[in-house]
Amino acid sequence: MSKAISVKNLWVVYRSLKSVSSKRALFTFGKNKLDVFEAVKDVSFDIEEGQVVGLIGRNGSGKSTLLRAIAGIFSADKGDINLYGKTVSLLSIGVGFKTNLSGRENIFLSGLLMGFKKSEIQEKLDSIIEFSELGAFIDKPVKTYSSGMYSKLAFSITAIMETDIMLIDEVLSVGDEKFKKKSYEKIKELISDKTRTVIIVSHSMDTLQKLCDHIIWLNNGILMRQGETKEVLAEYKEFMK
């Protein structure tokens, strides 16, 4: 089986100016120090084509940062990420939409960012709109959407455009019960394709056990463990007690 994702010695660091009073800032202009937070620290792993991998860790462990780095939204400060020429999509609330544009316009924008041609997006457009259940809201600005509507559109684009690699960040539990069920069934259908590679961030142990064949566990940006789902989840549960 060929590799789909290789992450080697990856570091992602956030930098921000330390908070100081306006008076102090006036007299120390140009000398203010940066706060440095290492979100991902020297992480390495390989994922084979067709694997469904769960990414776990408590809040602040670097899971979302890692997904954004794989998706190309964040640049690595050190290390390398190789996707072997495969298309990738990130499904995450608050990422990827221009809120002043309509849902329809964002479908085209998202598809282009995934690497699809406009004609390919046009072919899938009606299916995306139908799956999203947004009706007339598809032509309204995304800034008018509820979080549930936002997630429906985001999921629909990712699910229907069907990239080689799907990165799913805590969105399977968003939306009404009917859409949750439909989304879950769609994910199961998508991952049945043995050439599609999926990484799922979720705090639901039940979801991870049902969908994933492999688990990667991060803690404070450090790779703690990776391996078979049952073994790693058992160790993680014990750690979290």
Where residue 93 falls among pLDDT bands split at 50, 70, 90? Answer: low
Q: What is the residue-wise DSSP string for 79-119?
A: EEEE-TT--EEEEETTSS--TTSBHHHHHHHHHHHTT--HH
Q: Which two tokens stand for residue 9?
A: 């010695």
State if pTM tops 0.95: no
Tell me the C-alpha distance between 163 and 90, whole Å: 10
Question: With 70 as the cut, is the pLDDT of residue 209 above it?
Answer: yes
Where residue 202 falls among pLDDT bands split at 50, 70, 90? Answer: confident
Q: 3-86+164-240: what CATH class?
A: alpha beta
- Dihedral over alpha carbons 143, 171, 75, 79 (to 10 degrees): 180
More confident residue, 10 or 26: 10
Residues 6+ apart with CB under 8 A from 19: none
Distances (CA, A) of 157 to 63, 111, 190: 22, 8, 13
- Single-letter amino acid, residue 48: E
Q: What is the pLDDT of residues 127-174, one digit of tens each?
A: 999 999 999 999 999 999 988 888 889 889 988 988 899 998 876 655
Tell me the C-alpha distance between 70 and 63, whole Å: 11
163: DSSP letter? -
- Single-letter amino acid, residue 156: S
17, exposed or middle or buried, with CB in 10 Å at 0-12, 13-18, 19+? exposed
